[in-house]
Chain A
Amino acid sequence: MKKLLALTALVSLASFATAQKATTLVWSGAITGPTSDAGSSYAAGVEDYCKYANSQKMLTVTLNCVVRDDQYNNANTQRIFEEFVGSQNVPVFLGYATGAMLQIKGVVQETKIPTLPASYHIGLIDPPNNQYMFLPVSSYSENMVALLEWVAKKERGAKVALVVNPSPFGRDPVVDARKAATRLGLNITDVQEVGGNNLDNTALLKRLESQGVKYVINQNTAGPVANILKDAKRLNLLGKMQFMGAHYTGGEDLTKLAGDAAKGFIWATSYYLYDEGDRPGIQLVKKIGAQAGRKIDTIRSVHYTSGMLAAAIAIEAMKRGGKDITAASVYKGLTSMNGSRAFNPGFSVGPVTFSAKDHVGAESLRLLEADATGNFKAITGAQRSRMFQLVHPLK
């Protein structure tokens, strides 16, 4: 009997010790369903960086990486959040879609779980309930305002149209863009909502042409933008109008879908791209992708890099938080990323900085232009939008 008791105690101690030697990182997003084209690469980025972190022994404990498919369904995201945060005490949550992230914002605040979404909707870090949500890179709103600044430099008083997704993801930056345009002396003549079913954009483009619009800024996903570009090419409008877009409009996805119609498209993003092989972050992306045996299309995708950045930030925060990895320690780790302690894994064009008040990670962005081969080349250096802080002061 004594032996049995001793054995039980030993097993309990062993399992307790094992439990202390592991922590879990959870990502929930659309591997299938709408926007899965971006989500599947993002998921691969998260998963592969976790494996890399384990192989490099970045943490003193083993990292269990859980990648769950929420099918772009808000209720599924909530269930996954509850499942892991409620039952398994995960210290940090990586999310995905705008709608789902807006919906869990209150729960994130209540549970005090630091959360990094793949949506860069500025409303996620606006008050109220904004203490534990962190944007890995600059917001869609800042992307659009930066594009407007570029237009204003080129042609003051130009007529600009905004083409946005019919959702909170698309609509939210419009208010900031309008305010910025007024300050920049630009004329926003039209705001059109275009979803994924825009098979023929003739009427839209002809209307913009008749209004004398020279610049079209898109806040959408790559699919609808590619359809607009193809129609603009058919209507011989590509030279007459300059098409531009925020983060999720561009990259490999756009050039794959739009082909040579993407030539000249100007894109705002905070990430380095696959073709910039001289960047240490991209070298790491290639190395990790090759080790994981990913297809070249996945590795080339900017969303693969985005997934890696989100995972890297979470893991770095775990590392900085101290021995016991808890939600509170991860929060401490995240908010310590500033000044000389800024985190720079090399995936984004600037370092990741957070504080209790600053919840935007890599604040710098660049504007890039698609060339004849469909590759995006930087036309600006890493910068911040000057106007953005004025039209949307972060609290």
Chain B
Amino acid sequence: MPASRFTQTGNYRVRYQQDQTIFATYAEQASLIVGVLLLLALPLLIPKTMLRDVDMIMIFAVAVLGLNVTTGYTGLINIGQAAFMGVGAYATALAATRLNLPFFLAIPLGGLAGALVGTFVGLPSLRLKYLYLAVATLAFQIIFEWTVGHSPLLAQGGAISMPTVQIFGIRDTFLNHNMFWYYIILPVLVAMALLWRNVLRTRHGRSMIAVRDNDRAAAAMGINPGTAKLTAFMIGSFYAGIAGGLFAYFQKAVVIEDYGLHTSVQLLAMAIVGGLGSLPGSFLGPIFIVALDRFMGSASSWLGEKDIFPQGIDVATAMRPLAFGLAIMLFLMFEPRGLANWWRLVRMYFKKWPYKF
């Protein structure tokens, strides 16, 4: 137990039990409550047009949390997270349109479908590692797109319209759509983040970390690396499935283009830029990439309008992928721990402030 439950001036933990606590001080608990209250009030504080981006950030954050379980915590490179999102989205769409399930059942069903497929796709991880596993997940991404494109049940990749949702007598309409989904996505995100934090404190979570650091040493310690890897894939794709279900309702229709390889790369970029295996990074990464995307979109449009480049060279089109690539490369080179490390440094500063040492 720290010397004070209000401020943390050092590490006074002497038992594993103490080391397992989520919050070290009351201040941390209070900051979370204040943070959640601020988030609840956020739609009233920001411009209306920005709310859609915030919703997108929160949905991506759910998917990135999942990616941080497989890639960040267990070290299994996954270039198919968008396909798992797609599995969740299509499963949710089928549950909502064919089985007429309400959204609060259809979305978890999407998560379960994602987990089921994810566990199956994770099977090669028992044999493959590193680049080979990355290619296996990439193959799943391609198989997913092909399968959807050839399935009449899934409209061959065309649009499956989602039913309109109503909750507590409030109907999701065009005018309140972003606000409506904000207050659905936010509790889901908070719950998923708490679940993430708690799962990783269990023996399964510790097994994943041990497997990431050295799977042979983990096996020598009595951990079954295969089980840990499959668990990681199952949990990671469950998160993706939930994100896909939310995205399906949020976009009002499921279209294969939303779950393509570019989205998988985008999610991986979010995880890397945010900081692999980090909870704050799972939020900071999506914020950074969505903001970068918006900024680059405006910048490339502006450049496209100016005739400053030779005819036939579409510099504007190349700028967005270039910016993504550059951001990932620069983070890997200069800040491999991602934005989460900056967040850590800021917190450390304020912990010591106003003292220098």
Contacts and interface: CB of A to CB of B under 8 A. Distances in A.
Given A69-B301, A171-B149, A106 B252 contact: yes
B178 interface: yes
A33 B52 contact: no
A109 B326 CA distance: 41
Contacts of A107: 174, 252
Given A74-B258, A168-B157, A82 B252 contact: no
Contact of B174 (A86, A99, A193): A86
A110 B173 contact: yes
Contact of A103 (B49, B173, B255, B316): B255
A74 B157 contact: no
B284 to A, nearest CB: 20
Interface string B230-263: 0000000000000000000001110111100000
B174 to A, nearest CB: 5
A106 B251 contact: no
Interface residues of A, number: 38
Interface string A106-119: 11001100000000
Contact of A33 (B155, B156, B317): B317
B175 interface: yes
A366 interface: no
A167 B155 CA distance: 11
A40 B156 CA distance: 28
Interface string A44-63: 00000000000000000000
Nearest to B178: A82
Interface residues of B, number: 34
Interface in A59-83: 68-69, 71, 74-76, 78-79, 82-83
Given A87-B49, A103-B159, A166 B174 contact: no
Interface in A313-335: none
A344 B252 CA distance: 36
A161 to B, nearest CB: 18
A106 B256 CA distance: 17
**SS class of chain A's interface: helix, strand, loop or mixed?**
helix
B159 A105 contact: yes
Q: Which of A83, A103, A104, A129 has the most CB of B within 10 A?
A: A103
A76 B297 contact: yes
Interface in A160-202: 166-168, 171-172, 193
**SS class of chain B's interface: helix, strand, loop or mixed?**
helix
A297 B255 contact: no
Given A82-B177, A105-B161, A32 B156 contact: no
Q: Which of B49, B158, B297 has the most CB of A within 10 A?
A: B158
A107 B161 CA distance: 10
Contacts, number: 100
B19 interface: no
B145 to A, nearest CB: 8
B48 interface: yes
Nearest to B316: A32
Contacts of A33: 317, 320
A78 B159 contact: no
A148 B256 CA distance: 29
Nearest to B173: A110
Contacts of A104: 252
Contact of B175 (A76, A86, A105): A86
A71 B320 contact: yes
B300 interface: yes
A193 B53 CA distance: 34
Contacts of B11: none
Contacts of A75: 56, 251, 258
A172 B158 contact: yes
Interface in B148-177: 149, 155-159, 161, 173-175, 177
Interface in A300-316: none
Nearest to B318: A32
Contact of A111 (B174, B253, B314, B320): B174
A7 B266 CA distance: 53
Contacts of A32: 297, 300-301, 304, 314, 316-317, 319-320
Contacts of B314: 32, 36-37
Contacts of A94: none
Contacts of A36: 314, 317
B31 interface: no
A245 B49 CA distance: 41
Q: Which of B158, B159, B256 has the most CB of A within 10 A?
A: B159
A102 interface: yes
Contacts of B253: 102-103, 105-106
A295 interface: yes
A120 B356 CA distance: 67
A71 B161 CA distance: 23
B337 to A, nearest CB: 29
A-B pairs, 7 with minimum CB distance: A102-B159, A168-B158, A99-B257, A69-B301, A32-B317, A103-B253, A32-B316
Interface of B: 48-49, 52-53, 56, 149, 155-159, 161, 173-175, 177-178, 251-253, 255-258, 297, 300-301, 304, 311, 314, 316-317, 319-320
18 contacts: A36-B317, A68-B301, A69-B304, A71-B297, A74-B251, A76-B297, A78-B52, A79-B53, A82-B174, A82-B177, A104-B252, A105-B159, A105-B161, A110-B173, A110-B174, A129-B161, A168-B156, A171-B156
Interface of A: 31-33, 36-37, 40, 68-69, 71, 74-76, 78-79, 82-83, 85-87, 99, 102-107, 110-111, 123, 129, 166-168, 171-172, 193, 295, 297
Given A74-B255, A82-B49, A171-B157, 16 more contacts: A31-B304, A68-B301, A71-B297, A75-B251, A78-B52, A79-B52, A86-B174, A87-B49, A102-B159, A103-B159, A106-B161, A166-B149, A167-B149, A168-B156, A168-B158, A168-B256
